Structures are given as C-alpha cells and as structure tokens.
Chain A
C-alpha cells in the first residue's frame, strides 16, 4: 500500500533515530498527528505553547548532542516557534522544526491559519523548506537532519611561544567540537590561563588552576583585567560577542590575536585578528599541541592571582549572614548541595549571571542557557527537554520570577509527563537585570520593572506538584534536600534580596577594564572562615 506523507514523516524521523518529539497539534498538522498513533516508538510530549516546545527540543539537543525535534501547526503554531528557533540558531543548537501549512492549493491566498513561515524564519534558520509534494518529504527530512548536524551546528607558533602574558578565550566551540581534553593539555603544556565565555563554561573544569572563570560584561574583574593586559589572545571557538569584548576599540589593545573557528564568517567580524585558522577546534588543537613549547609563565599567572585578592573581599560569599537571602548564596548553596553535578538550565538575566559565577561546573554540557539571544522563558522548557535526553541526570531550572512566568505553563507539561525537574525561582519581585540597569544608568527610575507574581508554591500545588518557599538562608539547605528527595517536579520560590545587583559589570559598550564593582563592605569581615571553606570545597 502506498504510504501517506504523514506516515513517511514518522518513518523518516525514526530512521534518523528520533525517540521523542515536542509538539502541539492543530488543523493542518493533524494528519501527521493521526499517523503518529501508529508509531509508538516515538514519544510525543504535548507542550503548552509552541515556544516551550522549541526550547524543549533545544534543551534536548544540547543535553544529548542529538537533533531535537519540535512540531506545530501552521499560522500561529508556527509563529509561536520563532523565539525558540532564533534561540537555538544563535547558540548553534541543532533542532528540526516541522510545521503544517495550509493545503498547497491555498498557499498564498491568505487562507485561515496561513503564515509564510518559511519567509518568517528565513533569517533565523540555517535552512528551511516548504514541502508541497509527498515525494519530497523523505529527501527533505534527510537533508534537514544532515544540515542541522553538520558544519557549525555549525607564524602561529612563534606568537604562542614568545608570548609572556597570553590568555586563552574558550567559547562554545570547545564543547561543540569536544575539544575539552586537548584544551586542557594545551593550556597545561603552554601554561596559559583560560577565560571562559558563558557558553564555554564546562570546557575546562572550574577547579582547574588555569581556569580563570567567566569573562565579559559580568566576568570576574581579574579575568577582564588579564585580557586587557594580555600580549596574546588565543580565541578558541568563540565569536567575540559584544557581551565579551565591551568596547572593541579598547579591547585587549596590546594583544596579538589568534582565532581558531569553524565558521569563516566569524573571522575578522568583530575583532581584527593577526592569525585566523578555520577548522574544527579539536582537530586544529591536536595538530598544534605537539608543536607548542612547554611554557613557564609563573610570573603572569601569579600576577593574575594577585588581582583576585581584591575581588575576594568584595565577594558576596563573604558577607555575614544578616538574615537577608542573597541570590548568590542560593546558587552557591545549590552548587554545594548538588555536589556541582546537576545539569543546570537557566533563563536570561541576573540569576543567569549568578549561576555562571557561583555554580562552578567541572564537567562539560552541564549548563544549558540562552547565551546569544538571551531568551526569557528558556529555563523550564529546556530543562524538561534536557531531562528527556538525560533521564538519569539531576536537572534544575534556575529562573527569575519574570522569565519563569513566561513559560510557566510548561509546569503542566512536566506534570503530565511525570518528569522530575527542579525549579529554583530567584524571586526578587523585579525584572532584576533591567532594574539593575535602571539603578546604574537611569537614576533608579524603575519603569515597569516591579513585578507582582502569583504564589508560586500554590501554582506548583495547583499542578499537583510540590512547592516550597524559602525566605532565609538557613532554610536553603533543607529546601534543596527536600526537592532532591521528592518525587516529581518541585518548585522552590527563593525570596531573595530585592535590589541586589550582579557585579562586576561592564556597562554596555564600555571598556572591558572599566567595571562597576560591588561596593566594599563597610567593616572588614571576621576573616571569612566561610570563604576559605568554600575555596577548599572548590578544589
């Protein structure tokens, strides 16, 4: 019997190894859904909004390294996917989205639920197709999966060996090309400290002595100073995002720059480099590694360590327990009580930066976050997707009160699917990062940033899930333990200090070394035993 287009879709997806898809049915995609019942090997997750579906496919892809698949109907179903598609595109996460379209005889006639979705998504996809004939389905799906997975999902030695103050800038490419080991070998052999981009986190263990931590707008002060003072930057699989460079004109002015990158269009795009190498990072580093001289840069590394001293006393970890709950405390405690092993998915904003600063990942692929697009509402759905990819992993979504509400409907998906992810809401009653900008740059005129939220504990309970409220630091540990031990998804509403800010901060477009720092504590602290204990743990 001749197979229908709908049957071909499922058979092709199964052939590509698809086990789970995230979708939302509707009129034009209904034939595919009808056929789906005959292909029980594919598990369909009914999402609550198509944006959530694409984020889940994205989270699934990032956690598994496989292609994530999302389904939607035509028109509004397809346009609801746009944010999720753009998010995945910016961070080179491989997803395939399949939408219905009105009947081919109606295309172009403004039919009910018709949107030119290939036109709408053209600039935010690597490629897209309008398929109007059954015989094109199989080839298109095969091509689509191939394209999603391939490419960018997408005088050198003299410079390296003679540099006295080199810094490696490790980006997402380290993880995407699985160059973790060779990066470590390279850094250790040449004795070059490594600064991480947000998406590069996990590319080198956080507790590695050469790992400086995150660079850029909310990078640690010593990292940004090291970059500004460097005589050589080695950019590995990163793209000099404006959040990483600050003012390009004053960026690392004394440094020669070597850029290794798989996407040639990224070379000389933002920062003009002295040497550009196009290729898979792991392959290139494997070739370069034997040729690099064993380095001795003790002086430089010591100098960077000295710069850390000043930062430590400003660190919020050293603030005495005043009964206030700080977000940094929460995230640091979460790191501690999950032994640094949890898979963390975040939204965008203050909590995201605190997560990057205080959840110290020693392993790769443990932080899933919208780096390039900065998408609110990404945390919970990407966590659900990640959990499908890694059912045995401990998965936490960390969100702000604003971002959480953007896709909070997906709690219902988690409940229906009986999926266990834990949600930590860093609830400060504001759109925190925007409020911070208003505090610093708009004279504390808090326009439209104070935000009233529902009772998140009751919201969780309304979904048949567990909700916990935490208002003091002394409650953090037991809440985290309870969440870890409870069956099913748990939502913790952390009522943190309302007007705390992420430090340091390089104002947008400012010089990387001109950071706003956390004000010094008024009294010197009683020699912060707590801090040393944490440092001990970090080792």
Chain B
C-alpha cells in the first residue's frame, strides 16, 4: 500500500464532491487528502485525490471515477513527472526570547511569516509533504497552537497538460456537445 495521486477533472456542479467522496467510501478506499478548486476552464473543477492503495486499487479507483457522469477526465500522476505541493499555515508560540530563532528556522525552510503578535507567529509554507513535516518537527518544541494544511495539489511537468487525451467532454451526452 502506497500513496497514489489522482487528478480528476469534474463538472463544477452541486453534489459532485459528494459523489466522488461517496464513491471512495462505498469502495472502501481510504482518502489521504482531497483538494478541489476551479480550473482555467469555466464550469470545470479539478480535484487532486491521494489514496492509500496498491497499483490495482489505484487503477480501479480511476475506472470507478470514470463511471461517475460528472467526471470528465482522470489522470494517475503517481509515477509521472509532476510537481506536487502542499500548503500549511502553522501558528506557533513565540515570545521575545524565541522569536528570532523561529524566524531563522523559517528562513532555512524558505517559509514566510504572515502574522506576528506579541506571543505568536503564523508561518506559511509551501512544498512537498516531507519539507512541511520537517518544519513542523522543528517548530513543535516551541509549541504549535494550531495548524491547517491544504492537502496535495499536483500538476504534470512540461508544456502539455497532464495528458492531452481524452479531451474534456461535457456530461457525456452527444447532443450536449456543441
């Protein structure tokens, strides 16, 4: 069992997230993370789904996603050359005595400080999961107040989109394709 990353283009309609999530529940896949947001194309959302499964499971997840009418395209980017990023906001306790040390660590990780108060900092970091977990570990001794992570988003490298085919087809209904 390893993490597999699927990128799914879906119609931007109410209930689609529910359908996708329900599919993973019903087929007993464990979702590690799921992100969803708009794409360059109006009416199309893009999901990045990380599931903990084996190769057969990932293929089955992909095939099952295709059975949902609102799913337009699915790519398994696990083994492709792809950029994968996770974003975290970490609120950490920071007194006058510890603040400069924390800021130094933040620099090392190329993270940014986005909020400062007398007794806390909010640090924003973008990167691979490993890198983010590295920062979390060094901040933990200072006292993490709260943290939020987006989950992974992924994009294939190069000028082409992850896979040029098949093209996006609206709702799979011939008359609807104009």
Q: A118-B15, A122-B19 are in contact. Are A268 and B172 (CB under 8 A)?
A: no
Contact of B69 among A118, A119, A127 (CB under 8 A): A127
Contact of A146 among B19, B26, B66, B174 (CB under 8 A): B174
Are B173 and A263 touching (Cβ within 8 A)?
no
Contact of B60 among A119, A154, A268 (CB under 8 A): A268
Cα–Cα distance between A237 and B63 once the two chains are bound (Å): 16
Contact of A143 among B18, B56, B171 (CB under 8 A): B171
Report if B175 contacts A (CB, 8 A): yes
Are A265 and B173 touching (Cβ within 8 A)?
no
Encoded as 1 (CB less than 8 Å from any A CB) or 0, chain B from 40 to 63 comes to 000000000000000010011001
Are A264 and B69 touching (Cβ within 8 A)?
no
Cα–Cα distance between A122 and B14 once the two chains are bound (Å): 13
Are B26 and A123 touching (Cβ within 8 A)?
yes
Contacts of A154 in B (CB 8 A): 67
Cα–Cα distance between A456 and B67 once the two chains are bound (Å): 44
Residue with the highest number of chain B CB atoms closer than 10 Å, among A130, A146, A265, A269? A265
Are B19 and A269 touching (Cβ within 8 A)?
no
Are A122 and B172 touching (Cβ within 8 A)?
no
Are B63 and A263 touching (Cβ within 8 A)?
yes
Are A267 and B63 touching (Cβ within 8 A)?
yes
Residue of B nearest to A272 (CB): B56
Contacts of A272 in B (CB 8 A): 56
Which bracket fits the contact residues of A? 20 to 34
Report if B176 contacts A (CB, 8 A): yes
Contacts of B173 in A (CB 8 A): 142-143, 146-147
Cα–Cα distance between A269 and B56 once the two chains are bound (Å): 8
Cα–Cα distance between A152 and B172 once the two chains are bound (Å): 13
Cα–Cα distance between A263 and B65 once the two chains are bound (Å): 12
Are A264 and B22 touching (Cβ within 8 A)?
no
Report if A225 contacts B (CB, 8 A): no
Chain B proximity of A120: nearest CB distance (Å): 12
Report if B150 contacts A (CB, 8 A): no
Residue of B nearest to A266 (CB): B63
Report if B2 contacts A (CB, 8 A): no
Are A268 and B56 touching (Cβ within 8 A)?
yes
Contact of B64 among A139, A143, A265 (CB under 8 A): A265
Report if A150 contacts B (CB, 8 A): yes
Chain B proximity of A415: nearest CB distance (Å): 40
Contacts of A152 in B (CB 8 A): 67
Chain A proximity of B158: nearest CB distance (Å): 26
Encoded as 1 (CB less than 8 Å from any B CB) or 0, chain A from 248 to 263 comes to 0000000000000001
Q: Which 8 pairs of residues, A with B, have the shortest CB-CB distance?
A: A265-B63, A264-B63, A127-B69, A265-B64, A268-B56, A146-B173, A123-B26, A143-B173
Given A123-B22, A152-B67, A268-B60, 14 more pairs with CB closer than 8 A: A118-B15, A123-B26, A126-B67, A139-B176, A142-B173, A143-B173, A146-B173, A146-B174, A147-B69, A147-B173, A150-B172, A151-B67, A154-B67, A265-B64
A-B contact pairs, 11 of them (CB 8 A): A122-B18, A127-B69, A127-B70, A143-B176, A146-B175, A151-B67, A152-B67, A264-B63, A265-B60, A268-B56, A268-B59
